[in-house]
Amino acid sequence: MSRTAVGLSGLGLSGLGLAIAALAIVALGFAGCGAKTMQYSGSLDTPEVEYAKALSLLESGAHDEAEAALRRTMRLDDGYAPAYVGMSRLFLERGDVKEAIRYVHMARIRDVDYVPCWLMAARLYDAAGQYEAAVAEFREAITRDKDRLWAVESYVDLARTLEKLDRLEDAHDAYMEAITLDPLHIEARSSVTRIWKTLGPEFLMRLRYENRDIILP
């Protein structure tokens, strides 16, 4: 068993006078901002604001700056689970799987019901080639996501992993779940069409026989 596999075992913002006053507060809050980095005032010094900054930096590939913002978030609130998931993603993108695992464990300790903890764990399994374990984590994320806030990405990621296992019919069903929630999801729609072509007329006939929808919404 690889070191990655060992580490993974045991794991997802009335009145003109008030408006003027508000503008004055905003102006004071942003006074001194540099051309490249926005400095937040003390009134906005919250984990949520700092985490939003970190995510923006992470999306842009600014890993060092993102790490600094995530660590500031954790200093503001040591129990803020999203920051630990963010750190896990950061280390995964850097190729440091051991640290990515450690941070997703820490995220679960702080809030086991935070769905991205489970999604992140699934992505770690997927990255390690442990696809069956990844499928289990994705399905757990979907089950725990009562408000379906992350359901579309969960189903799409699940379907990608199922394709790696050559479980095309299951992948088709997962993509269709995503399309039900987001009918304009381009990847899911194109993937369903591709799977239809791969599995051929027999699969389409079976869908008709089972009264399952074979027309994309």
pLDDT tens readout for residues 141-198: 999 999 999 999 999 999 999 999 999 999 999 999 999 999 999 999 999 999 999 9
The answer to whether residue 122 scores a pLDDT higher than 80 is: yes
The domain 147-217 is placed in CATH, from the list 1.20.272, 1.25.40, 2.40.160, 2.20.25, at 1.25.40
- Do 1-141 and 147-217 agree at the fold level? yes
The answer to whether residue 96 scores a pLDDT higher than 80 is: yes
CA atoms within 13 A on the CB side of 43: 7
Domain residue limits, the chain: 1-141, 147-217
- Report the predicted TM-score, pTM, of the whole model to 2 decimal places: 0.77
The CATH architecture assigned to 1-141 reads: Alpha Horseshoe (1.25)
Which pLDDT does position 22 carry in this prediction?
A: 39
Which pLDDT does position 210 carry in this prediction?
A: 84
| Structure confidence by residue, pLDDT tens digits, 6-22 | 456 545 434 434 333 33
Per-residue CA distances from 126 to 92, 119, 121, 176 (Å):
11, 10, 9, 21
CA atoms within 13 A on the CB side of 81: 16
